[in-house]
Chains A and B, each alone.
Chain A
Amino acid sequence: MTTRRPNGERGLSPQLLVELVMDPRDPAYEAAAQRRGGQPARHWYDRPALAVGALIAGFVLALAYVHTNRGAPGAVRVHDDLVTRVRTAEQRATVLATEAQRDTLRLNALRDSALGDAGPLSTALDRDQLLSGELAATGPGLQVTLSEPPAPRSTSDPGRGGTVPIAAGHILTDRDVRSVVNELWAGGAEAIAVNDIRLTPTSAVRFAGQAVLVDFQPIASPYTITAIGDADALATGFAASDVASRYQTLSSAKGIGFSFHEQSEVSVAASPGTTLRYAHVPAGGGR
C-alpha cells in the first residue's frame, strides 16, 4: 500500500493517521511564520486578539466545569431527598404499628372483661388471634438458621472484571425459606417469624431480583426462622424431615450455613399488617 502518488500528492492512507499522531502541530503556525519570513509579527490587533482568544478558551473550560458539576449535586440531592422520605415513611409505619398493637391489646383487655374469662368463646378468640399473627407470642420453640455461603472473591472470573456470578453469591431463594416455613407449619408450629417478621395466614414469601421478600419487606441472609410450639415435637419432626436432610446435604456440598436449635424461650412480634375484611350481604338482599 503506497502512500505517495506520482505527483507527490498525499493520498488517504494509514500514513495520514501516523502523521496525525506523530506530528500534530497545526501547520498554520508554520505557514504564517514562513509568510513573515522569520520576522516576528507585529499588528495592532495581536495582543487584543490573543487576550480575547485566551479569555474565550478559559471561559469555555470553566463553563464546562460548572455545567458538569451543577448536574451532579442535583442528582445527589434528589437521591438524599428520596432516602429521607423513605426513612420518614418507615418510621411513621413503625409508630403506627406500635399504636395499632397497643390498641389491639387494649381491645383484648376490654373484650376479656366483657366476656368474662375462661369461656369457650374467649379461648377460641385467643387461639385465632395467635394463629392470625395479631398478637405477639412468647414460648418454647425452634430456631432454624439458613445463610448464604461466604462471598467468593471476584478474581479471574469469566465475564467483566469485578463482577460476581449471580449464582455463586446467591444460592438461597424464597423457595428455601418457604420450604422450611412450610415444614415448621406442618410440624405443628403455632407462630412463625422470619427475620423478626411475623407470618400470618396471608403472608407470602417471595423473590424479587436477588432479595427474599416476606410480606413485601426485603430480608437478607442469614435467614432466621423462629417457630413457637412444642419444642421437642418441632425439633424431632424437623430433624427427621426431607427439608432438613436436603439442607444438611447442601451445607456440606455448597457451603451454605444451616443449623437448628431448640429454644426454651423465644418470642415473635405481632404482625402489623392485619387488614380486617368484612362480609357483606349482597345488594339484592340475598337469594
Chain B
Amino acid sequence: MIAAVALIAGIVAGLLLRPTVPTWLEPYLPIAVVAALDAVFGGVRARLDSVFDAKVFVVSFISNVLVAALIVYLGDKLGVGGQLSTAVVVVLGIRIFGNAAAIRRRLFHA
C-alpha cells in the first residue's frame, strides 16, 4: 500500500518537477529505467509469494542500478558501452518478463 502510494508520488514528482538530465548521466538512464522496472516487478512478485522484504527490495534495486551503471561505464571506457548496455537491458528485461509471468500466474492462476 505504502509502496504504491510512494511509487505514484515519485511519478507525479518527476512529471511536475521535469528535471533536466545532465548529459553525462544520459547513457545510464535506460539502465536505471529497466533496473527500476525490475525492482518493482520483483517486489510485487515477492509480495505475492509472501517473502517480501523491504531491505532486500531497496538494496537489490540500488545495487542493480550501481552495478549496471558500473558495467556500462567500464564498457564506455573500453569502447563496448553500447553492447554492454544492451546486455544489461536484455538480462534485466528477461527478469522483468519472468516476474510479470509469475505475477500473472499467481493472480489469474493461468
Contacts and interface: CB of A to CB of B under 8 A. Distances in A.
Interface residues of A, number: 38
A231 B99 CA distance: 80
A65 interface: yes
A22 B62 CA distance: 24
A33 interface: yes
B58 interface: yes
A158 to B, nearest CB: 29
A9 interface: no
A281 interface: no
B68 interface: no
A45 B54 CA distance: 8
A178 B98 CA distance: 64
B99 to A, nearest CB: 6
A44 to B, nearest CB: 11
B94 to A, nearest CB: 6
B29 A67 contact: yes
Interface string A36-53: 100001010111011111
Contact of B6 (A22, A32, A50, A60): A50
B55 interface: yes
A24 B13 CA distance: 31
Given A29-B46, A29-B56, A41-B53, A53 B61 contact: yes
B14 A50 contact: no
Nearest to B29: A64
Interface residues of B, number: 50
A65 B32 CA distance: 12
A54 B6 contact: yes
Nearest to B30: A64
B91 interface: yes
A46 B43 CA distance: 13
Highest count of chain A CB atoms <10 Å: which of B14, B30, B62? B14
B85 to A, nearest CB: 14
A96 B13 CA distance: 54
Nearest to A28: B56
Nearest to A56: B10
Contacts of B19: 63, 66
Interface string B6-31: 11111111110011010000100110
16 contacts: A25-B49, A29-B49, A32-B56, A46-B54, A50-B3, A50-B6, A50-B54, A51-B5, A53-B54, A54-B40, A57-B7, A57-B37, A57-B40, A59-B13, A64-B32, A66-B19
Given A20-B91, A53-B58, 19 more contacts: A24-B98, A28-B59, A29-B52, A29-B53, A33-B51, A49-B54, A49-B55, A49-B57, A53-B61, A55-B10, A58-B6, A58-B8, A58-B13, A58-B14, A58-B36, A60-B33, A62-B13, A63-B21, A66-B15
Interface of A: 20-26, 28-30, 32-33, 36, 41, 43, 45-47, 49-67, 70
Interface of B: 2-15, 18-19, 21, 26, 29-30, 32-33, 36-37, 39-40, 42-43, 45-46, 49, 51-62, 91, 94-95, 97-99, 102
